[in-house]
């Protein structure tokens, strides 16, 4: 165990009416940090859901501006981060453990020692901030280029650039990354890819995030396997951003999905999870 020092496609798109919302500035603690209110902008709720069947391509498309809007990836970036950490040897494997410093804020699930496996499952921000320190700015930038990930901009801060910071990607770019992951086309060690894929598999009927198990269109069809990663943050403009990106295997079908909802900072925490559940059910995937 390492001891660490403290840190100080079906495409369904919808737009709702404009909502008054407070503007929140992102804090170092990450996507579950407390924010301080400032002047209230007007934020519209927009959503985007994409479904891409491997070996087939995009199944349907109903364009929306939200699907082409650059957004903070929040904790969906833990997936490329885990891949980079394994490929670079910053962590030796899924059971590499870092010690909780006892002071870093976060939900109860984060306030304990974590391995790569548990940190990815419970979306533990501080663990991946230590991964970022281990990689350093040059390797972070190099992996963003290798993955062709969004705008590839890590300039806003080594341990926060993916949480309401300079790194942005559109839902369409998120889909492209996950398609490359599940088509084994990322330019990194195959062992890193297979390890992360295994860690993303969710328990039957739920997806897990920092708040625990969230019901997800249960019961699933027999033999269905869902892999997924959540994300939640407030971006620089004060918008709340919610993600669920993932992969479903059902029989011979292999599909990548991306669900994203953007709105006021107090946007429902499970907005993207709920959108994905409805959309996968409507598409008869789950």
For the annotated catalytic residues, the residue numbers are 75
- Backbone angles phi and psi of 31, in degrees to 5: -70, -15
Element (H, E) at 242: strand 240-250
148 to each of 17, 125, 128, 145, how far by Cα in Å? 34, 23, 20, 5
Q: Cα 233–238–243 angle (5° rounding)?
A: 30
Q: Is the peptide bond before 149 cis (omega within 30 degrees of 0)?
A: no
Max alpha carbon distance in the chain (Å)? 51
For residue 46, list its beta bridge partners.
15, 262
């Amino acid at each position: 165990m390492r001891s660490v020092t403290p840190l100080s496609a079906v495409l369904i798109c919808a737009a709702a009416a404009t909502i008054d919302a407070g503007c929140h500035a992102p804090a170092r603690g990450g996507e579950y940090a407390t924010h301080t209110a400032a002047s209230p902008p007007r934020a519209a709720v927009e959503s985007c859901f994409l479904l891409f069947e491997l070996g087939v391509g995009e199944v349907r498309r109903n364009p929306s501006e939200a699907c082409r809007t650059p957004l903070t990836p929040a904790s969906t970036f833990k997936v490329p981060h885990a891949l980079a950490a394994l490929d670079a040897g910053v962590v030796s494997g899924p059971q590499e453990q870092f010690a909780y410093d006892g002071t870093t804020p976060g939900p109860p699930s984060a306030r304990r020692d974590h391995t790569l496996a548990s940190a990815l499952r419970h979306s533990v921000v501080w663990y991946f901030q230590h991964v970022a320190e281990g990689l350093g700015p040059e390797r972070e930038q190099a992996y963003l280029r290798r993955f062709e990930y969004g705008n590839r901009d890590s300039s806003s801060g080594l341990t926060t650039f993916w949480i309401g910071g300079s790194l942005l990607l559109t839902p369409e770019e998120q889909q492209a990354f996950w398609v490359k992951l599940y088509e084994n086309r990322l330019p990194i060690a195959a062992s890193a890819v297979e390890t992360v894929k295994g860690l993303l598999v969710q328990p039957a009927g739920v997806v897990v995030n920092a708040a625990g198990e969230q019901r997800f269109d249960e019961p699933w069809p027999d033999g269905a396997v869902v892999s997924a990663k959540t994300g939640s943050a407030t971006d620089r403009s004060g918008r709340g951003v919610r993600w669920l990106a993932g992969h479903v295997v059902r029989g011979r079908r292999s599909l990548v999905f991306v669900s994203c909802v953007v709105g006021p900072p107090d946007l429902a925490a499970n907005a993207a999870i709920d959108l994905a559940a409805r959309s996968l059910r409507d598409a008869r995937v789950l």
